[in-house]
Structure 1
Amino acid sequence: MSTEIRPRRSVLYMPGANERALEKAKTIDADALILDLEDSVSPDAKETGRANVVAAVRSGEYGHRELAIRVNSIGTQWHDDDVKAASEAGPDAILVPKVESAEQVLALVAAMEAAGAPAHTQLWAMIETPRALLHAEEIAAAHERLTVIVMGTNDVVNETYGLHVPGRNAVVLTSLAWTLLAVRAAGKVIIDGVYNAVKDPEGFDAEAKQGREMGFDGKTLIHPSQVEPANVAFSPSEDDIERAEGMIAAFEEAARENKGVATFNGKMIEELHIRDANRILAYAEALKNR
């Protein structure tokens, strides 16, 4: 797996059949864009959407933004053609909804390779059903080409007959935590689900903060107004950076003085704290260079 740090704080869905939206996306400061062929595209517009997103990827006009094409799910009448067209276009990633097993991951990788997907095109998978959640660990570890897991929290609520509530219900929180553990065990990236109320910025901020506290790499978004708050929520603050630098300096000073214990701001620090501090500084540097 690549050790490159690629920020994915804000991952914005854009409807593939809407050419105006695809054009506007070139100006939105999201880390990644999901050019969607699934939920946001009606059945009679699937072929138009497919042509639009292929043209968008081939245009090379999206700058630093990572481009993923979300295809229609396995078993639908559009899936095979979507995967073939997306593979030939060569985006940064192909996102497949409702992946439920390691076997499906392997079949998807085989389909991408058969269609000539370039080496840089990753596979991303959505986990959003009870079956997928129960097999999260084997899905995440199934193949090195699968690099990112995206949570489909709306579908988790729907398929468990739950309710959308502030702070998210217990089943959703359990699903998020369970899948995050599986993904981290596999050394992959995990993106939190969407927040539906686009006119509730306070609610979005609270949910983004919750996702960051849990350990998610970023959040999927449904409106451009959510991009900046997501970027803030999933970025290290100036205080975070200053604390990380101070912690490393204190640890190195203790080592030079042959002290068995290092302290910073009155607290003992260990190797694990330094690993976290280095990660924060590396991420901050990646944000500067994106």
Structure 2
Amino acid sequence: MTDAWEWDPSLYSGSARYYARGRVAYPAELPAAFAAELGLDGSGRLLDVGCGPGSLTLPLAGLFEEAVGLDADEDMLAEAARLAADGGIGRCRWVHRRAEDLPAGLGRFRLVTFAQSFHWFDRPRVAAAVHGMLTPEGACAHVHASTHESVHPVIADLVREYLGPERRAGRGSLPDGLPSGEAEVYRAAGFAGPRRFTVPGREVTRTVDEVVAGVFSLSSSAPHLFGERRAGFEAELRRRLAPAETFTVRLPEIAVDLWFTRGC
């Protein structure tokens, strides 16, 4: 990520309603692995930073007294609240703030998670804030996962035809892609680790409707980026995906790096 790129509220504009259908849900093995690895027993609090529509917040909520999902997109939080209500999941609180606002008076947490979100933040600033928000036995989890996979090369080709060769992100673009090197950021903020655990990858089958929703759930192809051409893009995408009715893709394993405020 270049210094020229700046976050703006349009990053996921219009994507919230596509997210739950377009992204593959985290497997049940993931919260079970968190519980086993950290000895979670229903006590303490969870903070999911950049929670989106609660994709990880909701599966983990039952492991804590309270789960707090924080996101800068109001539509994502509204979707999270709807999904929590539909699933009968209590113990959740949704906070409309940027990660850079932390600690924001939210208190201390047993676990803070970043699931496909850390790269969007001022990482040194946010990591330092989170370090001070953990309880003595607490951990920060960086989840390396993909809940979307391009099922056909026509998708990337068509996005480039409509939006240009550079990866779009809000009102700007990311010619060099997303940043890496998060381990150095965590260590510079005072964290010890990481201790890693993994959950195996799996095959999933996606319908055309789910594939289309997945495309619009991405920041790089969010609905607002297409403007008045959005309907035309979707029609052309569906045409190029035909005649297939479903697509099977293998998602890679999920790796979770646990970082601690003291030796792990």
The structure with the largest helix share of the pair is: 1
What's the TM-score, normalizing by structure 2? 0.32
What's the TM-score, normalizing by structure 1? 0.30
RCO higher in 1 or 2 (8 Å CA, sep ≥ 6)? Answer: 2
The structure with the largest strand share of the pair is: 2
